[in-house]
Copies of this chain bind each other. A is one copy, B any other.
């Protein structure tokens, strides 16, 4: 398998798995099958599209529309099977962890292919990993996973992208650096979901009741 093939498989994996999470959120909103496909494609392509627009690259699914077929197939599969899950929300959290672990290295690889410096490489790993899910959650009025109190999420993306950069500086081959990136993201996120790993949060004071957040 050439590195190009491996990177393309990584892209497809991230797209398919994020599409599944989008379709699961669509099932919580009780949409029809086209709604499933719409949210799945938004989730699967949102992060990478933002990355490509920022880096002025050809958007990845315009260059390779098979991406859209992958996301559509994943959405249709979920439409017919979501009822088999014991807890869709629990499944969503774990599948999203795998999607994050595939999307962050995909973003890192794309930024490195554009010849970006390390700060932009790290940010593009985070953008690719986090923004699709953020769009999914904002559009469907879910609490964004990115913002959940007492869980690691953006931190996982940051640590993974940083690992890829450091591994590259240390002379690791590209595929090894990307594998290390995916592993760090997955271990941190899984540890947060399974064992409650977290950073200290700002707890001093919640918002005052006379300045409420947005309601219905």
Contacts and interface: CB of A to CB of B under 8 A. Distances in A.
Interface of A: 26-38, 41, 49, 53-56, 58-59, 62, 65, 68-69, 79, 82-83, 87-89, 116-117, 119-120, 123, 126, 130, 134, 137-144, 146-147, 149-150, 152, 154-155, 158, 198-208, 211-216
Given A138-B138, A215-B215, A216-B216, A202 B32 contact: yes
A138 to B, nearest CB: 6
A53 B53 contact: yes
A202 B84 CA distance: 13
A98 to B, nearest CB: 20
B59 A58 contact: no
A30 B203 contact: yes
A216 to B, nearest CB: 3
B139 A144 contact: yes
A34 B199 contact: yes
Given A117-B65, A202-B82, A89 B211 contact: yes
B29 A87 contact: no
Contacts of A68: 119, 123
Contacts of A58: 56
A193 B118 CA distance: 41
23 contacts: A26-B202, A27-B204, A29-B149, A30-B201, A30-B202, A32-B152, A32-B198, A34-B152, A35-B201, A49-B54, A53-B53, A56-B58, A62-B116, A137-B214, A138-B139, A139-B144, A139-B146, A140-B147, A141-B213, A142-B214, A212-B216, A214-B216, A215-B216
A134 to B, nearest CB: 7
Q: Which of A134, A154, A198, A203 has the most CB of B within 10 A?
A: A154
